[in-house]
Amino acid sequence: MLYTNGMNKKPTSLRDQRDALLAEMASLRGLLNGSLVQRYSTCSRKNCACHSGSRHGPRLYLAVTGESGQRQSYVPAACAARAADGVAQGRRLRAIVRDLTALNLRLLREPPEEEVSHE
């Protein structure tokens, strides 16, 4: 899924490619770095059907791994499409970072550009 407009033409130089990726990265405003998880659960009512195999759900959660481990946040059904788009943007960001790393490694092997004096 492409999140920027006007990026249909292929950049020619490595620096142009890098600039295009950086511009696309800046457009990923709704990104969520995590995974969507569907969960089924049982409730506290002892006579509920969920205790005999027909659990409640699915309910949607955003699973995010941080410094203190994985945390899951409930995503209301009304927000499911936005959350899915945000997770897709997070995947795109990771792909952009991989591509930027490859481009920057190639640029490291090129001779440095001459600095232009502004006198």
Look up the pTM and report it.
0.74
- In the 8-state DSSP scheme, what is residue 77? G
- In the 8-state DSSP scheme, what is residue 113? P
- For residue 73, is pLDDT > 70? yes
Strand partners, 36: 62
pLDDT digits 0-9 by tens, 74-92: 999 999 999 999 999 999 9
- For residue 112, is pLDDT > 60? yes
Residue type present at position 101: T
Q: Are 108 and 100 in contact (CB under 8 A)?
A: no
- For residue 70, is pLDDT > 90? yes
